[in-house]
């Protein structure tokens, strides 16, 4: 075991939806990695649950395949693989029927004092029924429950869902995952802000001109089109991941990293968001939908073709000019944009500082560009600080804009763990700092709901954009109207 790893107490993790996509792509590989690093205690058990009839051996074979598909062969070594697969067992059970539940209850009871964790990797309409049965079979008493977005499709459905879960599990044992909060660089945002004395004095409207948050994906919706068409980019990305990023950039320094200290500060940010509704929606938001185009050098279909439909008003792109109504941030726009099938996969936060108040250099030296801090979330995680320096050489002063550039992969030669590796073990540790509290989720919907309503009311279809571009031209106009420009790829 590496000494830097914090061990976790023994646990019995039940994964509902164990044969589904999330379990296969993320949960099983994440658990394997933590186990292979020696962080999972010897006794810990993992129980897969889904409706499909399967033996323990068949579930182990399923998990083995998931690991082979998602982890490089060189990392899948014995004896780690055998140890991991040996922890797995399987129970077939349906959220809406009794068979299987007593068996599950017996297996969890046999685990004795180990911490029971229930991961609901299922469709959200099953969260309520599963929680009810967990309650009925006496499984909820000490257990922790993990749920994922979408938590509702608007405020009222989110409240209803939170209430269903809350009837069985008290809030301190509900873990709402936003996997962006588990990303390495997102954590680094907190380190950057609160472990350096340098930035915090400048972190306000006196020194910051604007903030940009881009989460761009090159992929389309592909086989998720069915779900995606009921959600769209606003519900899928902005209501959760993008607003969480905004919170981490904009929150006041919490007194500690204690879960409620952090979540109280994030909540204040969400509550300070200036409302966007019918009257200002057209000036402050842009929605788009991709048409056929090119991505990674090949032709790709449009959204409607992927959906297999001739008509859909679902947005695959959103840009929003958000503002915070508080003393620290009044007058500083937060430009958010996210979309599928954009020019490249890049997620980054750009903190644009103000111009120098006066240039002592005269006109001949080239423009003085404002400083920028770019926090790159993915790919190639890192931080760039753009500064003006003198171009080297004789012949007087010429100025040039250069980055202090730190790529984490080059600086630290370690594997970048997936967000789920950290988050699952945080549940076992009982650390809720990186999970969303009920009031945060509901506050985010309070801001998003009127935007969705205004879009519906306007009856305008999303603006088309060609796959492989940076979205509809209106999103460029959204920022350029303010004399600013979107910055791409760490520029
Ligand atoms: C998910 C969304 O929450 O996040 C997906 O539902 C999106 O549509 C994904 O593709 C992006 O996550 P990541 O970690 O690949 O940036």
What pLDDT does residue 364 have?
Answer: 64
What pLDDT does residue 490 have?
Answer: 64
What pLDDT does residue 296 have?
Answer: 83
Residue from 241, 279, 358, 401 carrying the catalytic annotation: 241
What pLDDT does residue 293 have?
Answer: 96
| Residue ranges matching CATH 3.40.50.720 in the chain | 11-148
| Residue ranges matching CATH 3.30.360.10 in the chain | 181-416+442-480
Kindly list the averaged pLDDT for each block of 10 residues, start to end, along the chain of length 491.
Answer: 72 97 96 95 97 97 97 92 97 95 97 96 94 96 94 96 97 96 89 94 98 96 88 96 98 96 98 97 98 92 94 97 98 98 95 93 81 92 93 85 89 86 96 96 98 95 97 97 88 66
**Separation of CA 443 from chain center:** 17
Structure pTM? 0.95
Q: Is the CB of 217 under 6 A from ligand 1?
A: yes
What pLDDT does residue 366 have?
Answer: 76
In CATH, what is the architecture of 11-148?
3-Layer(aba) Sandwich (3.40)
Q: Which atom of ligand 1 is nearest to the CA of 228?
A: 8
What pLDDT does residue 372 have?
Answer: 97
Gap between the Cα atoms of 76 and 72, Å rounded: 7
Q: How far is the CA of 181 from the centre of ligand 1 (A)?
A: 12
Q: How far is the CA of 229 from the centre of ligand 1 (A)?
A: 15
What pLDDT does residue 201 have?
Answer: 96
What pLDDT does residue 488 have?
Answer: 82
241 belongs to the catalytic site = yes
| Nearest Cα residue to atom 15 of ligand 1 | 217
Q: CATH for 181-416+442-480, among 1.10.10.10, 3.40.50.1370, 3.40.710.10, 3.30.360.10? A: 3.30.360.10
Q: How far is the CA of 328 from the centre of ligand 1 (A)?
A: 30
Task: Decide the pairing of beta strands 45-50 and 11-16.
Answer: parallel
């Amino acid at each position: 075991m590496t000494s830097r790893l914090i061990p976790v107490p023994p646990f019995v993790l039940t994964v509902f939806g164990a044969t589904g996509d999330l379990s296969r792509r993320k949960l099983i590989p994440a658990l394997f990695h933590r186990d292979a690093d020696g962080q999972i205690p010897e006794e810990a058990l993992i129980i897969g649950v889904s409706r499909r009839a399967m033996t323990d051996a068949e579930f182990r074979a399923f998990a083995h395949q998931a690991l082979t598909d998602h982890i490089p062969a060189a990392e899948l070594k014995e004896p780690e693989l055998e140890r991991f697969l040996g922890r797995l067992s399987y129970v077939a059970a349906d959220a809406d029927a009794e068979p299987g539940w007593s068996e599950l209850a017996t297996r969890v009871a046999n685990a004795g004092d180990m911490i029971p964790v229930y991961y609901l990797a299922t469709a959200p309409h099953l969260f309520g029924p599963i929680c009810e049965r967990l309650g009925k079979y006496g499984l909820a008493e000490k257990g922790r429950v993990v749920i994922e977005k979408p938590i509702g499709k608007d405020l009222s459905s989110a409240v209803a869902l939170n209430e269903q879960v809350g009837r069985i599990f008290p809030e301190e044992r509900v873990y709402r995952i936003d996997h962006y909060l588990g990303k390495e660089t997102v954590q680094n945002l907190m380190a950057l802000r609160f472990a350096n004395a340098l930035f915090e004095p400048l972190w306000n409207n006196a020194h910051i001109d604007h903030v940009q948050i881009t989460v761009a994906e090159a992929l389309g919706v592909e086989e998720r089109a069915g779900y995606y068409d009921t959600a769209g980019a606003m519900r899928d990305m902005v209501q959760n991941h993008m607003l969480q990023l905004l919170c981490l950039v904009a929150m006041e320094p919490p007194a500690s990293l204690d879960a409620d200290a952090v979540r109280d500060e994030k909540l204040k940010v969400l509550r300070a968001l200036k409302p966007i509704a019918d009257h200002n929606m057209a000036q402050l938001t842009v929605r788009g939908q991709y048409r056929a185009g090119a991505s990674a050098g090949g032709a790709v279909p449009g959204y409607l073709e992927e959906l297999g439909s001739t008509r859909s008003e679902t947005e695959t792109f959103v840009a929003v000019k958000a503002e915070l109504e508080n003393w620290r941030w009044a007058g500083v726009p937060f430009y958010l944009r996210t979309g599928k099938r954009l020019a490249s996969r890049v997620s980054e936060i750009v903190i644009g500082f103000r111009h120098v108040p006066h240039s002592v250099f005269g006109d001949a030296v080239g423009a003085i560009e404002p400083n920028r801090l770019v926090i790159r979330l993915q790919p190639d995680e890192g931080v760039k600080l753009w500064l003006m320096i003198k171009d080297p050489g004789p012949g007087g002063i010429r100025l040039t804009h250069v980055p202090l550039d730190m790529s984490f992969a080059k600086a630290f030669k370690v594997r970048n763990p997936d967000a789920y590796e950290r988050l699952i073990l945080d549940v076992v540790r009982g650390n809720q700092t990186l999970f969303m509290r009920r009031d945060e989720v509901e506050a985010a919907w309070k801001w998003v709901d009127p935007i969705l309503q205004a879009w519906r009311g306007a009856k305008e279809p999303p603006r088309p954009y060609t796959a492989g571009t940076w979205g509809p031209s209106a999103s460029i106009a959204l920022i350029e109207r303010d004399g600013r420009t979107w910055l791409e790829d760490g520029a």
